[in-house]
Chains A and B, each alone.
Chain A
């Protein structure tokens, strides 16, 4: 549905987007992740025809955005970083304007009502956008991108300015959209990508540094497994015993303690599941294990790891 090939955008010697290529299939939700100034917005602006690229191609539905912008733009709904809303229009006037400017040919009243319903802005439909709060304005911006049911929807930081309940609602909305739309969203909130996206593209300084399925992304930075184990027993002895288990690389007291129990973080060799050995060793000493959990790397850690690795590679 979306095809980007060797896309470059430079401002003089500064490369905002530096030779990136990726494809997004139909019905996929792709998260575009990266620190500030990584080139996320630039890529999206090129894809939607707001900016032009220095070189390379961007195709939407097989149509090149530079060669045939008129047809390509019909396929795209876009929410830019700042919702492009006119403060002196009411929500209804604005959505009608968007409906007309996009040359939609649907049942207008029904279509716009559905959009107001899913974005939960029906109660403010007669109010001036200028008088709405940031969260509502953002939702009007999202509504705008949905007008005309475009097959490709591009959101640049869709949940900025929303309260936690709204964030969850919008995420659900995006997930539902993914069933019959192609969605690209950019964010620097990692948990959001994890919650919503099928695939993650990490971009830094204009280059793609990771492009993986969400569930695989942690595998990109394969690491030793870690466990948090909570044991009733004397701290020093327990720690020594833990260290003695074959396959343990490191043991660290987390400092967390209850009346008679301590929590340790143990790091096991790659591919070595030492939970059984752990159980037997502790039971030998009559130190009951009252808690054991595997510490999975969360996306934040993965992200920082990948960024660091990228930095090192450049040096």
Chain B
């Protein structure tokens, strides 16, 4: 598993993919940060994080689209599947590599907050809570991306498919306002990654939401493992 993790990390940096992700992420987050705090003259950064969720919908698929699709296209998965590594180990290694890339980039973008400390009075605890929530949401999105990547041979299909599912997850809250039936609204807001995030913006560490994000991650990683196990029988 460690070998695959190391290989994945190296691939992010020997192909343009890792650099593209970091560059796009920092550019988008920098822009959103500037607009939502500096330009609005506020030191409250929960708005920034809220907008970033939509940035993730576009950026996380870049990170995960290749992970399995490319192996399958190039038939390199054969060496992984005929080596003494479990499928779970293989999926986890790829997931953790993508997560490492994501977490590193998010931490790098934390530099943005420093000026706020000097020129404003941000609520540090609240920002910290939001940061954790963002990492959790990113984790969910990565798991979705890894899962979709196991379904196809084409990285492009994988990235578009991932975006589709993520839009559904994050956008459920938006559709919510258009629907009158209570039960549908209830279900949609339960599914919505976005509405779960709200408590964090009030500075509350929401354990239910944390569990929700971790469960979604686990479910999609489990599905990815199942896809691979099933493919051996197909």
**A102 contacts B74, C-beta separation under 8 Å:** no
* Interface residue from B4, B15, B76, B232 paired with A84 (Cβ < 8 Å): B76
Is residue B115 contacting chain A, with contact meaning CB distance below 8 A?
no
Shortest distance from the beta carbon of A138 to any chain B beta carbon, whole Å: 13
Residue of A whose beta carbon sits closest to that of B77: A84
Cα A48 to Cα B15 with chains together (Å): 30
* Interface residue from A50, A85, A100 paired with B6 (Cβ < 8 Å): A100
* B contact residues around A103 at 8 Å (CB): 84
Cα A78 to Cα B75 with chains together (Å): 13
**B2 contacts A100, C-beta separation under 8 Å:** yes
Cα A35 to Cα B69 with chains together (Å): 30
* Interface residue from B7, B15, B75, B82 paired with A82 (Cβ < 8 Å): B75
Contacts A89-B10, A89-B14, A97-B3 given; indicate if A50 touches B84 (C-beta within 8 A).
Answer: no
**A73 contacts B11, C-beta separation under 8 Å:** no
Q: Report the number of A-B residue pairs with Cβ-Cβ less than 8 Å.
A: 68
The DSSP consensus for interface residues of chain B is helix
**B76 contacts A86, C-beta separation under 8 Å:** yes
**B15 contacts A88, C-beta separation under 8 Å:** yes
Is residue A22 contacting chain B, with contact meaning CB distance below 8 A?
no
Cα A82 to Cα B76 with chains together (Å): 8
* Interface residue from B7, B82, B232 paired with A97 (Cβ < 8 Å): B7
Contact with A along B212-225 (1 / 0, CB 8 A): 00000000000000
Residue of B whose beta carbon sits closest to that of A88: B14
Residue of B whose beta carbon sits closest to that of A96: B3
Contact with A along B68-87 (1 / 0, CB 8 A): 00000011111111111110
Q: Which chain A residues in 103-128 approach chain B with CB under 8 Å?
A: 103
Shortest distance from the beta carbon of B81 to any chain A beta carbon, whole Å: 5
Shortest distance from the beta carbon of A92 to any chain B beta carbon, whole Å: 12
Is residue A87 contacting chain B, with contact meaning CB distance below 8 A?
yes
Is residue A52 contacting chain B, with contact meaning CB distance below 8 A?
yes
Cα A80 to Cα B77 with chains together (Å): 11
* A contact residues around B119 at 8 Å (CB): none
* Interface residue from A50, A86, A89, A93 paired with B81 (Cβ < 8 Å): A50
Shortest distance from the beta carbon of A157 to any chain B beta carbon, whole Å: 13
26 contacts between A and B (CB under 8 A): A48-B82, A50-B78, A50-B81, A52-B232, A52-B233, A70-B86, A71-B84, A73-B82, A73-B83, A76-B82, A78-B78, A80-B79, A80-B82, A82-B75, A84-B79, A86-B11, A88-B11, A89-B7, A97-B3, A100-B3, A100-B6, A101-B3, A101-B4, A101-B84, A101-B85, A103-B84
Q: Interface of B with A (CB < 8 Å)?
A: 2-4, 6-7, 10-11, 14-15, 74-86, 232-234
